[in-house]
A and B are shown apart, each in its own frame.
Chain A
Amino acid sequence: MEERKSELQFGEPQRQSQAALILIIYNRFKNLITRFWYFIVFALFTGKTGDGGLDTVSLSIIGLTFIATLFGIISYFRYYYWIEGDQLMIRSGVLSKSLTQIPFDRIQTIDFEQNLIHQTFNVIGLKIDTAGSNQAETKMQALTKEKAKALRNFILSQKQETLIAESGDDYLTEVQLEKAEEIYKIDFARLLKIGITENHFRSGFVLLFGAFWLFDNIRETGLDVDEIGVQYYNQVLGSIVLAGTLLVLFILVSMIFSVSRVFLKYFNLTFLRSFNGFKVISGLFNRKEVAALDSKIQLLEWKQNLIQKYLGFHDLVLKQASSTEIGSKKSIVVPGVYSEDIENVKNYLFPDRMEDSTEMHQLNKWSLYRPLMYISLFAIGLAVLFVYLNLYYNLFALIVFYILVVVRLFKKYSKAFYGVNDRAIFVKGGVFGHKKWMTMHHKVQSMEITQSPFQTRRKLASLQIHTASGTKIIPFIELDRAEYLYDYLTYKVEVSTEEWM
C-alpha cells in the first residue's frame, strides 16, 4: 500500500528540493576556494595584488565563479528524477542533455549525507552506488527528508523483491532500524582515547607540510622570512632547548589536531545492528549515515597500533563491494571497538567461520631472509663508504637505523600468518600492533599466483586473493601450498550457492 503511494510519488519527473540550489552554489564556491585559496592567502599576506598578474587572475576567478554559479542554477532547473518501472531515471545537463538509467538491482547502497546546510534546511543528500557497471556513483544534492527516505525505502524494497522471492525480509528500512540493537555508542572517554591513539605523526606531518608550503609561498612574496629566521636561530644556536621545545610543540599541536579531527568525525557515533545489516551514524557538524547489508560486506579488517593494543581496542573496517576503486569511501570504519564487539560482529556476519579450529601458518622464512639480505648488503656497502670517508657520525646513525629496520623486519615476520579452513580465510599481520583480515570463501572473485625469478628458484610463490573490495596478497609461501589453495578456493567458489553481492 505504502509502496504504491511511493511509486505514485516518484512517477512524474520532478526537481530536487529548492535547498539544492543553495548547495549547488555553495559547492561551486567551495571548489573555487579550495582550488584558488593560495591566491587569497597571497593577497592577504602581501596586501598587494602582485606584479599585475594577479589582477587578471582575480578577474578570471570572479568570471569563472559567475559562470559556474550560473551553470549551477541552470543545472538545478534542468535536473529531473523519477522512477520508471524498476529503474531510477535522472535527466540532467545544461548544454548537452543526458539521461541516466539506474536499474534497482544494480544499486549497491544508498547513503544519506547531511552537512550543516542540509541540516539547516532539513534536507538530505543521497549517494547512490552501483557496482559492476561502468558508471560510478550518482549523487543527488538535496531531497526533503520525507522524499529521501521514501525514495530509499521504495528502491530498496523493490530491489529486495526482485532478489529474494520470499516476502517478509525487508531491507534496512527506518522502521527496522528502530528495532535494531546497538552494538556500541561512543562516549566521551572513548572518543578521547581514540583521538590520543591516532597516528599523530601522520597528522603532524600533514600540518608540517602545510606550514612549509605556506612558508615557501610567503617567502616568494618578498617577506623576508629567512632573515627573521636566521636572527632568531643565531640567538639560540646550539640550544637543545629549542629542539626539545619544537618537538613537544610538534607533538602537542599534532595531538590537538588529531583529537579535534576525531571529535568532528566520530562525535556521537552509534554502531547499530539490524537483523540483516549494519549501520553507523556519526559526526558533529556533518552527520553521516552509512549502512551495509550483510551480503554486501565482502571482508572484515581490524587493526590496532601499539598504544591501542594496551588500551585494548581496535579500528574495525567492514569493506563493501563498490564500483569505484577500493578506497576508504565504501568501507564502514568503526573506531574504538573492543574485542568483544568484534566477536559480535563476526558472529553476526560469519557465524560458521570456525576460527578457533583453524590452523595458522607462518610465511616462508625467505620472506624474512630476502629483505634482510638486501638491506644488510646495502648497509655494509654504505658503512664501508662512511669509514673510508671518515664519516663516523653517519656510521653511527646508519647502525641505529639498521637495527631499527632489522627489528621491524623480524617483528613483521613473527606476526605474519595465514590460515584457510572449510569456510573462511584468515590473514594476520602487523609490526608493533596487530592487523587482521578475514573473509569467507564465497566472497572470493578470482585467484592469482605470481612468482618472481627468486621465488621460482626456491619453489615459492605469492598468492593473491581478489575480492570485490580489494586484493589480499599472501607473499612467500611454498609453491605446492599456493597451488593447493588456488585450486581449493577456486573449487569452493564454484560450488558455493551463497549470495555474495
Chain B
Amino acid sequence: MNPFNNPQIEIQGLPQAESLEFHSLEPSYKTALLIGNTVIFGIIGTVISMGFIFSDEDIPSLVLKIVPSVFLTIVFFSYLSIIFGFKNKLFAVRHQDLNYKKGWIWKSRMVVPFKRIQHSEVTQGPIDRIFKLAKLRVFTAGGSGSDLTIPGLKLEEANKLKTLITSRITDKQKLNGREEE
C-alpha cells in the first residue's frame, strides 16, 4: 500500500502475453456462427429478391447484375472470415488478467486486468442456446472501448470464468480496504 513502492523491473522478467498458452473456442461455436450467418444472409437475400420480383417498375439490368454479385461477394467473404477467422480467435486467463486474440486479416489482441473490471455477465443468444454456448462479457468503467467479449465458451465454462472474475474483483477490494456490493 505504499504509494512510493516502485521497484525496478527487469525487462526480460516481464510476463509476456505473446508466450502465453492460448485456448481456442468451442468447435461447435464455428457451426453456430455458420448457422447464424446463413440465417441472416438468408433473410437479407430473401428480402432483396422479393423486392426484385414484386417491384412495379422495371429494374435496370445493370442493377440486376450488380446487386446480386455484390451481395454474393459479401456472403462469400463472410463465410471465409468465419472459417479462417475461427482458429485465430483465442483466449487465455492469467492470474491477473483476461487475454483475447482475434483476426484473420486484421489482427488484434487485448488484455484486461481483473482489477480494472467493473462487472461481468454471461449472455446466450438463441443459437448459442442450441449448442449450450455462451458469451462472457466484461465491462470496464468509462467508454466501451475497453470492454471485452469472449464468445463461444461452454456455458459452464463461461460461468466459472465469471465467478473467478467476481472473486478477483472482491479480493482486490478487500485488499484495498474497500467494501463494495
A interface residues (Cβ-Cβ under 8 A, vs B): 105, 131-133, 162-163, 165, 298, 321-323, 325-326, 422-423, 444-453, 456, 464, 466-471, 483-484, 486-488, 490-491, 493-494, 497-499, 501
Contacts and interface: CB of A to CB of B under 8 A. Distances in A.
Contacts of A298: 142
Interface string B112-123: 110110110000
B77 interface: no
Nearest to B100: A448
Interface in B63-109: 96-97, 103, 105-109
Given A131-B141, A450-B106, A486 B180 contact: no
A450 B140 contact: no
Interface of B: 1-3, 5-6, 9, 11, 14-18, 96-97, 103, 105-113, 115-116, 118-119, 139-146, 148, 176-180
Contact of A469 (B17, B96, B113, B142): B142
B111 A490 contact: yes
Nearest to A491: B14
A467 B142 contact: yes
Contact of A490 (B2, B103, B113, B140): B113
Given A163-B178, A450-B108, A451-B106, A487 B142 contact: no
B108 A162 contact: no
A497 B176 contact: yes
Contact of A466 (B14, B118, B119, B145): B145
Nearest to A131: B141
A483 B146 CA distance: 18
B106 A453 contact: yes
B106 A494 contact: no
A186 to B, nearest CB: 30
Contacts of A422: 6
A80 B6 CA distance: 49
A493 B113 contact: yes
Nearest to B19: A487
Contact of A494 (B18, B96, B105, B176): B96
A450 B148 contact: no
B96 A165 contact: no
24 contacts: A131-B141, A131-B142, A323-B141, A325-B144, A445-B112, A446-B111, A446-B116, A448-B109, A449-B108, A450-B107, A451-B107, A451-B108, A452-B106, A466-B143, A468-B143, A470-B145, A471-B143, A471-B146, A483-B16, A483-B17, A486-B109, A490-B97, A493-B116, A494-B97
| Residue in A131, A132, A498 whose Cβ sees the most chain B Cβ within 10 Å | A132
Nearest to B96: A494
A132 B119 contact: yes
A470 B3 CA distance: 25
Contacts of B108: 448-451
B148 A446 contact: yes
A298 B146 CA distance: 14
Contacts of A325: 143-144
B166 to A, nearest CB: 14
A204 B35 CA distance: 52
Nearest to A105: B180
A422 B140 CA distance: 24
Given A446-B113, A490-B111, A493-B115, A471 B106 contact: no
Nearest to A470: B143
A494 B116 CA distance: 9
Contact of A497 (B5, B118, B141, B142): B5
Given A131-B142, A470-B145, A487-B14, A447 B107 contact: no
B146 A446 contact: yes
Contacts of B115: 493-494
A185 B179 CA distance: 40
A472 to B, nearest CB: 10
Contacts of A470: 142-143, 145
Contacts of B16: 483, 487
A447 B148 CA distance: 11
Contact of B15 (A132, A491, A501): A491
| Residue in B15, B103, B108 whose Cβ sees the most chain A Cβ within 10 Å | B108
Nearest to B5: A497
B141 A132 contact: yes
A445 B140 CA distance: 7
Contacts of B109: 448-449, 486
Given A298-B142, A468-B140, A488 B116 contact: no
A444 B115 CA distance: 11
Contacts of B15: 487, 490-491
B141 A321 contact: yes
Contacts of A484: 11, 14
Contacts of B141: 131-132, 321, 323, 445, 468, 501
Given A445-B140, A447-B111, A451-B106, 8 more contacts: A105-B180, A326-B143, A445-B141, A446-B140, A449-B108, A466-B145, A490-B113, A497-B2
Given A447-B111, A468-B140, A486 B17 contact: yes
Shortest beta-carbon contacts, A-B, top 8? A468-B142, A466-B146, A132-B118, A446-B112, A450-B108, A471-B145, A446-B146, A445-B146
